[in-house]
Chains A and B, each alone.
Chain A
Amino acid sequence: MINQFEVIETNKMIEEENLDVRTITMGISLLDCTCADLDACCQKIHDKIYSSAKDLVSTGEYIAREFGVPIVNKRISVTPIALVGGACCHSAEDFVRIAKTLDSVAKEVGVNFLGGYSALVSKGMTAADELLIRSIPQALSSTERVCSSVNLGSTRTGINMDAVKLMGEVILETAERTKDADSLGCAKLVVFCNAPDDNPFMAGAFHGVTEADRIINVGVSGPGVVKTALEKVRGENFEVLCETIKKTAFQVTRVGQLVAREASKLLGVPFGIVDLSLAPTPAIGDSVADILCEIGLEHAGAPGTTAALALLNDQVKKGGVMASSYVGGLSGAFIPVSEDQGMIDAVNAGALTLEKLEAMTCVCSVGLDMIAIPGDTKASTISGIIADEMAIGMVNAKTTAVRLIPVIGKGVGENVEFGGLLGHAPIMPVNPFSCEAFVSRGGRIPAPIHSFKN
């Protein structure tokens, strides 16, 4: 039988160390909503999402009450809209109509974000893909809860450099259109290499075409729990350090597995995966950077950071894998800047640069995330940063992503405030040298030699 110490330990994690389930995300296929008529397509999309997810929020709240653990977000991911709208959208404005439909149904069912305003263009763009990408600035500036993502490359296909070039321009235009809100639109837009089909986290969640009609994916969190556990093993060797991370990751993931199973049962929707991510928030004590400091660094970004992060990422996976029957999504440590107070402090202290963050993305689960850069950064420079990050993903057969926010009207040294879970960030300097000629070549970078595993 459960004893009092175990109960106290669990409740301490929840109450003092910010243990929570970060998101229950319902993936919904919209492939059966395709239709040649735009009005009919929007209606079908609305009806499918509404009927599938109308009980999502109340179920999430019920489960949170049952187990006494907070479930922070309830969200929806849908089939990439470039595929759904291909038959009925003949202009960027047509795609924006679908974005507005998604936004209104997201409000209706009460979810805070809906992901899947996406295109998968790792090898080439269809006419619909390109229209959707060109509609992103308008879509994100005229909606509140819609998130957009574009997959620009993969280990199997190489990198679509035409799309990389286009995305540099689209990110800048999105920033321009949302400049009154510190270019907030860019916080809802992410580009990927090797995007997973079952990621429950925003802004990159979409419901892949390989998925079932509907699915429940759960993203766990818990950097504070790992940090507190590591405080007890200060000065111990790497074996003890790694064992402690693994054990803690196991416990955190078990909560995710329990919530996923319960949500799946109550909603009558199959369980997909648990995403074993350490996802920070701007709250004090909920930081991945603080874990790196606890491992032994003065600040995130100091020499040793990449090794510490590699170790952390690997142990989180090793502990988490055994705790859940299916794992997937992004799974690992997230290193966003604006959403992590320890990262923000490291930037302000001069310890963490964009280049060091790039190195860190080689060993963590995602990429350059929530980084504010000067608003006068050139589109080609943004494309160059994206290309570098896509190359890391492609060659290392891992997911990488870029979510940069060029803050229009602001420069290095100034701060931006996004609010809520998106946090605040100091604007970081970008390498000023040009990559215009590289980005403008056109075409695609071929897949690496180790992709031919036939």
Chain B
Amino acid sequence: MDKIIITVVGKDTVGIIAKVCTYLSENNINILDISQTIVSGFFNMMMIADMSSAKIGFGELCEAMDALGEKIGVSVKCQKEEIFEMMHRI
């Protein structure tokens, strides 16, 4: 498993998850878990995905997500899961 965390924060608009998911599926990145909340109109989504059989590298994914975020006007951030594991698990 090569787990990554994708977070999307921004103004809620139609099809944010769809666009992210489409890109991930096109590149064979498997989604393991999705959770989302909307706090005072702000969309907050976290996705855990597995990149172990991805067609692209992590750097390329980051660039694509940056570009996608810019296009729909939200911030999309990709991080390796280890940073959260390290900080929140002993």
Contact = CB atoms under 8 A, between A and B. Distances in A.
Interface in A7-40: 7-11
A10 B84 CA distance: 7
Contacts of B31: none
Interface stretch (A63-71, A228-236, A351-359): A63-71
A251 B80 CA distance: 16
Interface centre among B32, B44, B87 (most CB of A within 10 A): B87
A4 B62 contact: no
Contact of A68 (B32, B48, B78): B78
B5 interface: yes
A258 interface: yes
A3 B81 CA distance: 11
Contact of A254 (B32, B59, B86): B86
A7 B82 contact: no
B82 A67 contact: yes
A1 B48 contact: yes
A1 B87 CA distance: 13
B59 A69 contact: no
B11 interface: no
Contacts, number: 58
Contacts of A449: none
B33 interface: yes
Interface residues of A, number: 21
A65 B77 CA distance: 10
B13 interface: no
B83 A255 contact: yes
B44 A8 contact: yes
Given A2-B88, A67-B82, A69-B83, A7 B5 contact: yes
Contacts of B86: 254-255, 257-258
B40 interface: no
B79 interface: yes
Contacts of A65: 58-59, 62
Interface string B1-44: 00001010000000000000000000000001101010000001
Contact of B35 (A4, A67, A254, A257): A4
Contacts of A239: none
A10 B33 contact: no
A3 B36 CA distance: 11
Given A7-B84, A67-B82, 19 more contacts: A1-B48, A2-B84, A2-B85, A4-B37, A7-B7, A8-B44, A10-B84, A10-B87, A62-B59, A65-B58, A66-B58, A66-B80, A67-B79, A68-B79, A69-B83, A254-B86, A255-B83, A258-B83, A258-B86
Give the top 4 A-B pairs by smallest Cβ distance, nearest first: A68-B79, A67-B83, A254-B86, A6-B88
